[in-house]
Every structure is written in structure tokens, then in C-alpha cells.
Amino acid sequence: MNEIASDILKFLAFSQKLKSQQRTIKLSENRHESSADHSWHLAIMAMAVAPHLKEKIDLLKSLKMVLIHDLVEAEIGDTPYGDVVLDRDIKAEKKRKENEEIEKIKKLVGGELGDEIHELWYEFEEKKTSEAKFVKALDSLEANHQSIMYDINYWENWFYPVALTKADKYCGHEEILGAINAEITKNMKKKFDEAGIELNKI
């Protein structure tokens, strides 16, 4: 039992590094959010949204997926969304590093938990199961929602039109996801109008 306890603490020491991995997105008080901030808020969203899905999902599995979907960032950090969108080489390198890191995590954790984390991470990446599609939709929605919580002057021009549609492809399969996406998009457009941003001139 002491050995199991030791292994758990090693994993906790590794995963706590997500608390200090800074993301590009800011919080409402103007500090950058951490990967742990993002995952926590995603878990809150999953709990709130799941009861309204037409297709019932395994919420516990979804919450586990939320908790580990960015676990690789504990070691390799977060890659800014803009870099991934605008540069194919960066996107490919990000994928290579993540695939390499999840294998290391599997070995670090070991046992059934290591296998479960590995399987859940790849399930999320492949976006084929109901739970993975749900979490991916929330992942995109959470980032968009957070982006309207801070000063729009921090946004880069290329992101204005992209932000309005980037979650669309993940939300069409569930009415509640589509409704949340539409509401966030409406609030984004309002923010653009208030800032005097004309999308047709970007």
C-alpha cells in the first residue's frame, strides 16, 4: 500500500505543474489563466450542460476526460491557438510532442490508472465517441466564453472572424451546445460593436 501511495504522490507532483502552465487567454482580472484553470472551468461546464443533452453520456467518464485532456501540457506547456491555426509546422510539432509526452505519462503513472489516462487522452483526440465529442465542444466553447471576459484590445485582428465560427463544427449535434454557442457568438458580436470593430474591414 505504501508503494501505491508513493506512486500516487509522484503523479500528483507531476500533474500540479498544470497550475503554473500559462495559457494565452486571460481571466477577467487580466491575468493569464493556467491550464489547470481551464480544465477546472471545463469540468464545471460539463456538470452544468450534461443534464440537457439529448444523447445521454457517461458524465464520470467525461469529467475524467476533461481532467486529463491537457495533461501533457504539464511538461510541454500550452501552444498558443494562433500559432496552431496559422502555422502547419507548429501544429505538426505540437502533435508530435503531445504524442510523445502521453507515452511518458503512461509510464510515469503506471498500472490501470496509467492505461486509463492514455486511453482517455487518445479518445479525446480522436473525437469519435459521444463523450469525446461533448468534451471537445465544451473545450472550444469554454475558450470562446473566456475570451469575452477580458479587454478586446488584447485580441489579435486575425482572431476576430475566427472566434465567431471556430466552435460551430463541434456543437451542431446537440441543441444545448448549439444554443450556448449561439449565445456566446452573440455576446462576441456585441463586444465587437462596442469596440467599433468592423469585421468586413479585417
Stated pTM of the model: 0.90
Is 202's pLDDT higher than 60? Answer: no
Alpha-carbon distance 137 to 174, whole Å?
10
Name which of 37-46, 135-144, 189-198 the model is least confident about: 189-198
Residue 78: band (very low, low, confident or very high) from pLDDT cuts 50, 70, 90: confident
Q: Using 50, 70 and 90 to split pLDDT, how confident is the model at 169?
A: very high
HSE at residue 93, side-chain half, CA atoms within 13 A, is 12
- The single-letter DSSP state of residue 200 is G
Does residue 47 carry a pLDDT above 90? yes
pLDDT at 158: 66
Read off the amino acid at residue 199: L
Residues 156-179: what's their mean pLDDT?
87
- Please, what is the average pLDDT of the chain? 90
**pLDDT tens sequence across 94-149:** 999 999 999 999 999 999 999 999 999 999 999 999 999 999 999 999 988 988 88
pLDDT average, residue stretch 73-82: 86
CA triple 187-143-201, angle to 5 deg: 55
Residue 117 and residue 67: Cα distance in Å, rounded? 10
Residue keyed to cell 471537445: 136
Lowest mean pLDDT among 35-39, 84-88, 129-133, 154-158: 154-158
Q: Which residues of 118-157 are buried (b: 16+ CB within 10 A; e: fewer)?
A: bebbebbeeeebbbbbbbbbbbbbbbbbbbbebeeeebee
Range from 65-74, 87-96, 127-136, 179-188 carrying the lowest mean pLDDT: 87-96
Domains of the chain: 2-201 (1.10.3210.10)
Task: Indicate the angle between helix axes 88-109 and 111-126, nearest 10 degrees.
Answer: 160
Angstrom CA distances, 133 to 22, 176, 177, 181, stand at 25, 13, 11, 15
Residue 185 — pLDDT band, cuts 50, 70, 90?
Answer: very high
Ranking 42-46, 64-68, 109-113 by mean pLDDT, the lowest is 109-113
